[in-house]
Structure 1
Amino acid sequence: MVGVLDAETRNAAVLVPGTGAGLDTIDQSVAAATELARATDGPVFVYLDGDLPQTMGYEGLDDAVGAGAMLGSLAGPLGQALGTAGAAAASLDDSAAAPRFAREMAPGLVGFAAELDAEIAAHAPGAALTVIGHSYGGSVVGSAEQLGLRADRVVYASSAGTGVFDGPWRNPNPDVERYSLTAPGDPIQYVQALPGNPHGDDPDTAPGVLRLDTGFYAPGADGSRTPVAGVDGHSDYWRDPGSDAFGNIVRVIVGEQPSGYVERTPDFPLRIPWP
Structure 2
Amino acid sequence: MKRERPDSDAVVAAINELSRLAPFEGSALRFAARPLADGALVGPAGDRLGRKVMGWHEEVGQAFTRAFERLLALDPAVEDRFLRLVPPRLDRLPPPSPSPRAGVVGGDLEKLAALANGLRRASGELRQCADIMATAMNRAGAGTAEARSIDRIADEVAQEIADVQRRRDELAKRPAPVFTGDLRGKGPAAPDTTTADAEEPPAGEIGQAVDALIARGVLPPEFARMRPAEAMRYLERHPEVAVALGEAESGVLLPSALRAALVPVLHAPGSRTVDSPLDRVRAAFEKMPPAERRWTAILFPAVVGNLSGAPFSARIWANRVNIIRAAEKQKDKVIRLQAELARLRAMGDALPDAPAKLKEAEQRLHAAEVRLGTFQTLLKDDRRKPGFDRQILLFDPDQGKIAELHGEIGPKTRNVGVLVPGTGTNLDNFHSVRKTSQTFVTESNASDDGSLAMISWLGGNLPQDIFTEAPDPKYAQNLAPNLALFSRELAQEIRFAPTPARKVAVTVAGHSYGGAVVGLSETFGLDADRVLHIESAGAGYGVTAGNAQKLYKNPNPDVRRFSMTAPGDPIGMTQGVSAAGWGHGADPDKLPGVTRLETGNYPRELPDDPKKAGRPIQGIEAHSDVFIPQSDAWKNMYGVFTGGEIVHDSGPVAPRLTEPYPQKELLT
Under a length normalisation based on structure 1, what TM-score does the superposition of the two structures give? Answer: 0.80
Query: 1:249 Cα deviation (Å)?
Result: 0.7
SS class of match (1:258): strand
Instruction: Work out whether residues 103 and 165 of structure 1, in 8 Å CA contact, stay in contact via their aligned partners in 2.
Output: no
When residues 224 and 156 of structure 1 are mapped into structure 2, their CA distance, relative to the original with a 3 A threshold, is: closer
C-alpha distance in 2 between matches for 1:103 and 1:202: 18
C-alpha distance in 2 between matches for 1:153 and 1:200: 20
Which deviations, in whole Å up to 9, do the C-alpha atoms of 1:38-66 show, x marking residues without a partner? 22332111111110000111xxxxxxxxx
SS class of match (1:192): coil
SS class of match (1:156): strand
Pick one of 579, 586, 591 that aligns with 1:201.
586
Which deviations, in whole Å up to 9, do the C-alpha atoms of 1:84-123 show, x marking residues without a partner? xxxxxxxx3xx10100000000000000010000111111
Q: Superposed, which structure 2 residues align to 1:60-209 within 5 Å? A: 92=468, 95-123=469-497, 124=499, 126-165=503-542, 168-194=551-577, 196=579, 198-209=583-594
Instruction: Work out whether residues 19 and 53 of structure 1, in 8 Å CA contact, stay in contact via their aligned partners in 2.
Output: yes
> What does residue 246 of structure 1 align with?
634
C-alpha distance in 2 between matches for 1:18 and 1:253: 19
> What does residue 23 of structure 1 align with?
427
C-alpha distance in 2 between matches for 1:249 and 1:122: 27
C-alpha distance in 1 between matches for 2:648 and 2:418: 22
Q: What letter corresponds to residue 183 of structure 1 in structure 2?
A: A
When residues 224 and 45 of structure 1 are mapped into structure 2, their CA distance, relative to the original with a 3 A threshold, is: closer
**1:261 matched to 2:649:** yes
Instruction: Work out whether residues 189 and 268 of structure 1, in 8 Å CA contact, stay in contact via their aligned partners in 2.
Output: no
C-alpha distance in 1 between matches for 2:430 and 2:524: 26
Aligned length: 232
SS class of match (2:406): coil
C-alpha distance in 2 between matches for 1:147 and 1:47: 17
The structure whose RCO (Cα within 8 Å, separation 6+) is larger is 1
When residues 265 and 189 of structure 1 are mapped into structure 2, their CA distance, relative to the original with a 3 A threshold, is: closer
Identity of aligned residues (%): 40
SS class of match (2:590): coil
Which deviations, in whole Å up to 9, do the C-alpha atoms of 1:178-218 show, x marking residues without a partner? 00011011100111142556201000111110110000010
When residues 264 and 149 of structure 1 are mapped into structure 2, their CA distance, relative to the original with a 3 A threshold, is: closer
Instruction: Work out whether residues 184 and 230 of structure 1, in 8 Å CA contact, stay in contact via their aligned partners in 2.
Output: yes
> What does residue 212 of structure 1 align with?
597
> What does residue 453 of structure 2 align with?
43
Query: 1:266 Cα deviation (Å)?
Result: 6.9
Query: 1:169 Cα deviation (Å)?
Result: 1.5
RMSD (Å) for aligned C-alpha atoms: 2.0
> What does residue 78 of structure 1 align with?
none
When residues 164 and 265 of structure 1 are mapped into structure 2, their CA distance, relative to the original with a 3 A threshold, is: closer
Q: What letter corresponds to residue 466 of structure 2 in structure 1?
A: M
Instruction: Work out whether residues 146 and 165 of structure 1, in 8 Å CA contact, stay in contact via their aligned partners in 2.
Output: no
C-alpha distance in 2 between matches for 1:231 and 1:210: 23
C-alpha distance in 1 between matches for 2:637 and 2:601: 14
C-alpha distance in 1 between matches for 2:644 and 2:574: 30
When residues 22 and 236 of structure 1 are mapped into structure 2, their CA distance, relative to the original with a 3 A threshold, is: same
Q: What letter corresponds to residue 152 of structure 1 in structure 2?
A: D
Query: 1:242 Cα deviation (Å)?
Result: 1.0
SS class of match (2:645): coil
> What does residue 12 of structure 1 align with?
416
C-alpha distance in 2 between matches for 1:246 and 1:135: 15
Query: 1:174 Cα deviation (Å)?
Result: 0.5
Query: 1:268 Cα deviation (Å)?
Result: 5.0
Instruction: Work out whether residues 130 and 155 of structure 1, in 8 Å CA contact, stay in contact via their aligned partners in 2.
Output: yes
Instruction: Work out whether residues 148 and 169 of structure 1, in 8 Å CA contact, stay in contact via their aligned partners in 2.
Output: yes
Q: What letter corresponds to residue 96 of structure 1 in structure 2?
A: A
> What does residue 33 of structure 1 align with?
437
Instruction: Work out whether residues 53 and 96 of structure 1, in 8 Å CA contact, stay in contact via their aligned partners in 2.
Output: yes
Q: What letter corresponds to residue 643 of structure 2 in structure 1?
A: G
Query: 1:146 Cα deviation (Å)?
Result: 1.1
When residues 193 and 49 of structure 1 are mapped into structure 2, their CA distance, relative to the original with a 3 A threshold, is: closer
SS class of match (2:563): strand
Q: What letter corresponds to residue 554 of structure 2 in structure 1?
A: N
SS class of match (1:121): helix
C-alpha distance in 1 between matches for 2:641 and 2:590: 21
C-alpha distance in 2 between matches for 1:193 and 1:112: 27
C-alpha distance in 2 between matches for 1:156 and 1:133: 5
Q: What letter corresponds to residue 112 of structure 1 in structure 2?
A: F
Gaps of 5+ in 2: 1-404, 445-449, 658-668
* Greater shift in the superposed pair: 197-206 or 109-118: 197-206
Gaps of 5+ in 1: 58-91, 270-275
When residues 51 and 224 of structure 1 are mapped into structure 2, their CA distance, relative to the original with a 3 A threshold, is: closer
C-alpha distance in 2 between matches for 1:136 and 1:264: 23
C-alpha distance in 1 between matches for 2:425 and 2:575: 20
Q: Which has the higher helix share?
A: 2
Instruction: Work out whether residues 589 and 653 of structure 2, in 8 Å CA contact, stay in contact via their aligned partners in 1.
Output: no
Query: 1:263 Cα deviation (Å)?
Result: 3.8
When residues 5 and 266 of structure 1 are mapped into structure 2, their CA distance, relative to the original with a 3 A threshold, is: closer
